[in-house]
Amino acid sequence: MSGYGTSVFEVMSRLAIEHNSINLGQGFPDEDGPLDVRQAAADALMTGLNQYPPMLGIPELRQAVARHAKRFYGLDVDWQREVMVGSGATEVLNDCMLGLIEPGDEVVVIEPTYDCYLPIIRRAGGVPRLVRVTPPDWTLPRADLEAAFSERTKLVLLNNPHNPAAKVYSEDDLAFIAGLVVRHDALAVCDEVYEHIVFDGRRHRPLIGFPGMRDRCVRIGSAGKTFSLTGWKVGYATACPELLAPIAKTHQFVTFTTAPNLQAAVAYGLGKDDDYFQGLSDEMCAKRDRFAAGLARLGFGVIDCEGTYFVTADIRPLGFDGDDVAFCRHITVAAKVTAVPVSAFYMTDGPEHFVRFCFSKKEAILDEAIARLEKLFGARENA
Ligand code: PMP
Ligand code: GLN
């Protein structure tokens, strides 16, 4: 791993701590998720779920994942053969790459990429084929995507809703991707950790529900985002038995199991009523609106945010003399507000004047961050 630096999230979080700044870099909420879910974990811990659980996950959680798929997406899932629990979406993504890729296989990925994607594809022997989307509209270039597929394509790794683009792929784009996967006899690994954080009446549509995808897709979710408990690291994969088998074999040699008390609580959480899930989106959407309006008032070029915890902003209107990396350091030190540079999500030559802010924070914190940035840059007339 000597060719890789420390993750941008860790670098910026350390800098934020060092300068005692408001950390809107790394994506995590500053309020823990529902009390009843945390209580369920505490109860499970005190009443005995503390030894190795079954390798695929406790039956209650696998059943809950299957029921959740039926309730939200109308998918019929066999909890015994088609669901696996892992230690966060991150572990499950690793399991997928190690379990599904043979050295030399090509993996189509849309850039900007979430930080672990390229390292895990490469360590698994895969060859990334990058397709680039760029702000402000992050439009999927279909011809490029089509050209990235070849007879060596093993799979496409799709993040939807997309971090950091905050984009929810349209029905049309998803159908197009599904068509390419079928045509090239490939697979799709779908990182859908933000499935319940989509805004403005949008509905998340898992690729696995598209024609031809049921037996070609791995769908990955995470309790971290769905219950605002990012430190728990409980993720789950849903896939047909033939696809799940090599993923589960990898899991057995990586972590083997995941904390059983947390699994029990997540099983409980996935059964919460629809109001909970709608409430999560509504709350995050209100935070987005508040923070994005503040950034716009300061003159940032705010990019549309359709889902996730993140809003991207163009820093050029502020007249700062430097790139996105310098800007993020500057505001950390001078305003005590931290963001992450969007160029960090590109392998090379990414756009250099966009920064990503995480808005899953208390309103008072978001307001304070805007006030601090305003002190540094001043508000713009007519912004
Ligand atoms: N995928 C994406 C796109 C993410 O933003 C994150 C960060 N939460 C993860 C995966 C990792 O999820 P987990 O914490 O469950 O490993
Ligand atoms: N998903 C979070 C983000 O995009 C970070 C998780 C991590 O630090 N690895 O900010």
Task: Output the DSSP codes for 308-334.
Answer: SSEEEEE-GGGT-SS-HHHHHHHHHHH
What's the CA angle centered on 155, arms 177 and 208, to 5 degrees? 55
Residue 67 is predicted with a pLDDT of: 98
- Looking at 3.30.300.130, 3.40.50.2300, 3.30.420.40, 3.40.640.10, the CATH number of the domain 35-271 comes to 3.40.640.10
Residue 316 is predicted with a pLDDT of: 96
The type of residue at 3 is: G
Query: Each residue of 231-249: pLDDT tens digit?
Result: 999 999 999 999 999 999 9
* Cα 297 to averaged position of ligand 1 atoms, centre (Å): 31
Given a cut of 70, is residue 288 above it in pLDDT?
Answer: yes
Query: Each residue of 317-348: pLDDT tens digit?
Result: 999 989 999 999 999 999 999 999 999 999 99
Atom 9 of ligand 2 has which residue's CA nearest to it? 9
* CB-ligand 2 contact for 26 (6 Å cutoff): yes
* CB-ligand 2 contact for 113 (6 Å cutoff): no
Residue 383 is predicted with a pLDDT of: 46
Determine the residue of 94, 163, 345 to mutate for testing ligand 1's pocket, defined as the one with the most ligand atoms within 8 A of the Cβ atom. 163
Q: Residue range 100-122: average pLDDT?
A: 97
Report the chain's mean pLDDT, rounded to a whole number: 96
Residue 7 is predicted with a pLDDT of: 84
Query: Each residue of 25-49: pLDDT tens digit?
Result: 999 999 999 999 999 999 999 998 9
Nearest atom of ligand 2 to the alpha carbon of 164: 4
DSSP character for 303? P
**Chain-centroid distance, C-alpha 102:** 25
Residues of the chain with CATH 3.40.640.10: 35-271
Burial class, 176, CB count within 10 angstroms (exposed 0-12 / middle 13-18 / buried 19+): middle
177 is written with which tokens? 């991707």
| Ligand closest to CA 226 | 1
Q: Contacts by 207-211 with C-beta closer than 8 Å and gap 24+?
A: 207/158, 207/160, 207/174, 207/177, 207/178, 208/75, 208/238, 208/239, 209/73, 209/74, 209/75, 210/174, 210/175, 210/178, 211/175, 211/178, 211/182
* Cα 123 to averaged position of ligand 2 atoms, centre (Å): 20
* CB-ligand 2 contact for 230 (6 Å cutoff): no
Given a cut of 90, is residue 2 above it in pLDDT?
Answer: no
237 Cβ contact list (under 8 Å, min separation 6): 83, 84, 86, 92, 95, 96, 218, 219, 220, 244, 247
- Whole-angstrom distance, CA of residue 107 vs CA of residue 159: 13
* Cα 375 to averaged position of ligand 2 atoms, centre (Å): 28
* CB-ligand 1 contact for 251 (6 Å cutoff): no
Query: Each residue of 144-186: pLDDT tens digit?
Result: 999 999 999 999 999 999 999 999 999 999 999 999 999 999 9
> Phi-psi category of 278—alpha, beta or left, where left has phi over 0 and alpha has psi -120 to 50?
alpha
Residues of the chain with CATH 3.90.1150.10: 8-32+275-377
Q: Which helix (H) or strand (E) holds 217?
A: strand 217-222
- Whole-angstrom distance, CA of residue 83 vs CA of residue 240: 9
* Cα 348 to averaged position of ligand 2 atoms, centre (Å): 20
pLDDT cut 90: percent of the chain above it: 95
Indicate the pLDDT class of residue 305, thresholds 50, 70 and 90: very high
| Ligand closest to CA 117 | 1
* Cα 7 to averaged position of ligand 2 atoms, centre (Å): 9
Residue 81 is predicted with a pLDDT of: 98
Query: Each residue of 44-81: pLDDT tens digit?
Result: 999 989 999 999 999 999 999 999 999 999 999 999 99
Nearest atom of ligand 2 to the alpha carbon of 25: 10
* CB-ligand 2 contact for 27 (6 Å cutoff): yes
Given a cut of 90, is residue 1 above it in pLDDT?
Answer: no
Indicate the pLDDT class of residue 282, thresholds 50, 70 and 90: very high
- State pTM to two decimals: 0.96
Given a cut of 60, is residue 129 above it in pLDDT?
Answer: yes
- The 10 Å Cβ neighbour count of residue 381 is 6
Q: Scanning the structure block, which residue is given the tokens 């006030």?
A: 371
Has domain 8-32+275-377 been given CATH number 3.20.20.210?
A: no
* CB-ligand 1 contact for 163 (6 Å cutoff): yes
* Cα 164 to averaged position of ligand 2 atoms, centre (Å): 10
* Cα 143 to averaged position of ligand 2 atoms, centre (Å): 30
Residue 381 is predicted with a pLDDT of: 55
